[in-house]
Structure 1
Amino acid sequence: MKVRIYIILILVFAFVSCNEDSKIEQEIAKIEMNFEVERFDKAFFEAKSQDLQNLKNQYPFFFSSDPDSFWIEKMKDSLQRELLKEVQHEYPDFNTSKTEIQSLFQHLKYYDKSFSIPRVITLTNDVAYRDKTFVNDSIVLIALDNYLGAQHDFYQNIPMYIAENMKKSQIVSDVANGYATKYLFQSTKRTLLDEMIYHGKLLYFKDVMIPFKTDADKIGYSEAQVKWAEANESQIWSYFIEKELLYSTDSKLPGRFISDAPFSKFYLELDNESPGRLGQYLGWQIVRAYAKNTGDDVMKIMQLGSEEIFNKSKFKPKK
């Protein structure tokens, strides 16, 4: 009898919680958030030499002290033309991504009343894939030549585990990550646990700000990799505990479990089956557990230290 009552209480709590989340999302959807996406990439592609000064007036931050002749040559450069042409082909419009970014901005405004709409500008950056987006208080830059799809010819010399996330569905996730780093505070990252919680907070921020995206999109995994991480969560956690890795300051550990990599490095047979960055994944689950147990606001969570989050999370891996 007690078991039945316990199950009923869990179901009631889950229903109330989902209903509350739904009400919040309805409120967020009502927030006005009007902006235009400025297609600098398109403007540069279509520009003639006589249009250069106008472009410089509109986008002074894109132009260095190089003479006009440098930029006019760049307009004519065959490689630049090919790059810009491919971007225009893949992005004749930006409507889908704009809708997702608009929803991100609505969520940001709901949780941070001081948030103001930035300029959103698309461009190309010669496939500098480590700088796909840039975010600050007044501007969001999105380099579209980094989102042409994993199999694009431009990416043939880029490691596949990186190229796999060079696709349209990652745009809003990358922009959200840029905002997450702005809101996040963590005084130290000495131990593996510090690194795990740091990245866990970035991922939990995405849970709240882009709830319409899948877990795979948020962390940059395939659906199969997410399922692998979920299925092996308990074993991964046991490995970290048995090897006493959580509080280790070994400088090699971030490279094994946090940084971008084709797989995580347990030095076991399962390595080649595993996705990279499993330390980030586990940190995410810890922060999720903390949020569920405490009910703390996302903005508060972003400011907390790793020890407090870990101790109060009462984290238990899925079995």
Structure 2
Amino acid sequence: MKQLTIYQLILIKCAVILLILGLPACEGTKCTEENRYEKVSVDLKVERLEDQLSDLKDVDDVLRLFQQNRVMADYFLDANQYPNDTILAKRLFRLLQQPSIDTLMMDTKSYYSDFDQNVKELTSAYQFIKSNYPNQEVPKIQTIITGFYNDMYISDSLIVIGLDYFSGENGRYFPNDIPRYIVKRYMKESLAPIVLSFVSNEFNLADQTHGTLLADMVNLGKSYYFVEQALPCKADSLIIGYSSKEMEAVLKNQEVIWANLIENELLYETSHYLKNKIIGERPNIAEISENCPGRVGGWIGWQIVRRYMDQNPDVSFTDLMAERDAHKMFQQSGYKPRNIND
């Protein structure tokens, strides 16, 4: 057996702690995977539209903003659902005059005053995507603050991000349509993973034939794996949106969670109601345990996909994304969860 140096042992110990707690890299270590594709040419253009909103003087200025950003106006602000732009422009201008919007703008701009790390992560992610899909277009990124009107719009050519939705609990106002347990994980460290989880849908050919919980779990697992490969330095907790406590709970109780799914014959369940209990948004899954976080089915699916790739080294990343047979992947993964204890 190959002997490990003291430094290697320290790194391994650090990695285990990170995996359990979902924390940033240990001091003195550096993610060596971050610049794997730095030679891949990517020109990621970013436009901060919230700065332009602060300079709008009248409705005509708003109309010009719409014309200069037609896709954003039509699909992020839903201008194409109005008889004409003027109606929406008047509403937006009135909104921008509200004192609460000034506060929201100030809080969000302060929180995102340094957007460089987000740009760096998204640029690195698109370098990875381009290395696997050379013909893939690199979209333009626009950020905006609209008083929680919309959170995100994604297409091949444009991604619009409502930064006010992604400030977590760092401001004085929160969106009314999102539960607080979700709001708290929508922060700037999670912005790139959230964006890329939606981007992955373009490449992730999902298993839509079986309709089972297992298929849904693996489909979600492929999405998390996509983000993991695009952002190799990002902690698992930030990719899936778990707190360190929730991350620790699933790692320590993998066998219990898996046994619950098997004993209750849920893997091949097709009821949307029952499936949603395991993969849907919930503060916890009380049917398993009060300490079991919601969406745990997606996390299990992620572990199945990881195991499948470990067991099948000849399967490329693009092969994985194109694979539709979730049940075959599960069978070939040989997934057998083991608890990680203190």
Instruction: Please state which band the TM-score falls in when normalised by the shorter chain.
Output: 0.7 to 0.9
- How do 1:162-311 residues align onto structure 2 when only pairs under 5 Å count? 162-186=182-206, 187-188=208-209, 190-266=211-287, 271-295=289-313, 296-304=315-323, 305-311=325-331
SS at match of 1:302: helix
| In structure 2, C-alpha distance between the alignment counterparts of 1:53 and 1:66, rounded to whole Å | 7
Distance 1:225 1:38, change over 3 A: same
- Report the secondary structure of 1:212's partner residue: coil
Q: Say which SS state the counterpart of residue 121 (structure 1) adopts.
A: strand
2:168: which partner in 1? 149
Contact 1:42 1:84 in 2 (8 A): no
**Relative to structure 1, is the Cα distance of residues 246 and 69 closer, same or farther in structure 2, using a 3 angstrom cutoff?**
closer
Unaligned runs of 5+ in 2: 9-30
Higher fraction of helix: 1
TM-score, structure 2 normalization:
0.79
Q: Which whole-Å CA distance do the structure 2 matches of 1:318 and 1:231 have between them?
A: 8
2: CA distance, partners of 1:28 / 1:93 = 24
Q: Which has the higher contact order (CA 8 A, sep 6+)?
A: 2
Moved over 4 A (4+): 22-27
Q: Deviations over 1:38-79 (max 9, x none)?
A: 011221122222633442332123162231544433432334
Distance 1:139 1:177 in 2: 15
Question: Residue in 1 aligned with 2:335?
Answer: 315
- Number of equivalenced pairs: 298
Q: What RMSD over aligned residues (CA atoms) do the two structures have, in Å?
A: 2.6
What is the distance in 1 between the residues matched to 2:336 and 2:57? 61
TM superposition score normalised by structure 1: 0.85
CA distance in 2 between partners of 1:168 and 1:25 (Å) = 18
Give the fraction of aligned pairs with identical amino acids, expressed as a percent. 26
Question: What is the CA-CA distance between 1:189 and the residue it aligns to?
Answer: 5.7
Instruction: For 2:308 and 2:338, locate their aligned partners in 1 and report how far apart those are by CA, in whole Å.
Output: 15
Distance in 1 (alpha carbons) for counterparts of 2:45 and 2:114: 12
Distance 2:50 2:133 in 1: 31
Out of 101, 112, 123, which is 1:91 matched to?
Answer: 112
TM-fit CA distance, 1:174: 0.9
Give the Cα–Cα distance (whole angstroms) in 2 for the partners of residues 59 and 82 of structure 1.
25
Match for 1:52 among 56, 62, 71? 62
Q: Show the counterpart of 1:17.
A: none
- Which one-letter code corresponds to 1:173 in the other structure? P
Residues 1:132 and 2:132 aligned together: no
Task: State how far apart, in whole Å, the 2-side matches of 1:189 and 1:216 are.
Answer: 29
For the structure 1 residues 290 and 24, does the alpha-carbon distance in structure 2 shift closer, same or farther, using more than 3 Å as the test?
same
